[in-house]
Structure 1
Amino acid sequence: RRKAMLEDLAVLTKGDVISADLGIKLENVTLAMLGTAKKVLIDKENTTVVEGAGKKADIQARCTQIRAQIEETTSDYDKEKLQERLAKLAGGVAIIRVGGASESEVKERKDRVDDALHATRAAVEEGIVPGGG
């Protein structure tokens, strides 16, 4: 499963997976084998790649391959993990820039955007009822 995620990341950044299993040693790695992205954000639990150098056609081909694996597998757990990989690979990243005339105005707007993001995530995860307030 980890190797598959590394392959997804390689497709996204137009890099190569570096692994002893593939016969590639760390000593033999060249700069051309490394992927690129405009920005990569890493924290304790997540890695976010912004504008990876991977070609859209390659990413779509990888998504098609994962969809085929979802159809083939019989395990619910494997299906769920494959769907998560597909969502991460096919999903995009939004960058929201917040500005204002003063520092307090910027802070207020950032708080509003943060509240809206949390409300949207909750609605996606738990669902909504029209007119439910």
Structure 2
Amino acid sequence: MVSFMQIDRGYVSPQSPEKLVVEFENARVLVTDQKISAIKDIIPLLEKTTQLRAPLLIIAEDVSGEALATLVVNKLRGILNVAAIKAPGFGERRKALLQDIAIVTGAMMYICSSLKETYFKEFF
């Protein structure tokens, strides 16, 4: 069975320039309404997905700074198969869309004040 979802937002991290899609099998998906800029917020997640050799899709309000730089470097070096995109929508509509995305993808979803290491235990 093939399933897909189209999200009207752009990639934050580099992907194949020939295709405008992300195609992952058995990926881990993190959906959050938070901005991710500090790498320390997602290091446990990156370490675990690297160990599992699982692709990682991050859908967040924004991914920037050292977090984005780390994702890009690890993607380009082939260490981690990762893609990050900005969450669609705004305000309460964004939260509803993120909940829908989490349900469709079976993602771990965080609508919270911050991402914490302990939350990622449920992810695997």
Q: TM-score, length-normalised on structure 1? A: 0.22
Q: TM-score, length-normalised on structure 2? A: 0.22
- Higher helix residue share: 1
- Higher strand residue share: 2
Structure (1 or 2) with the larger CA radius of gyration: 1
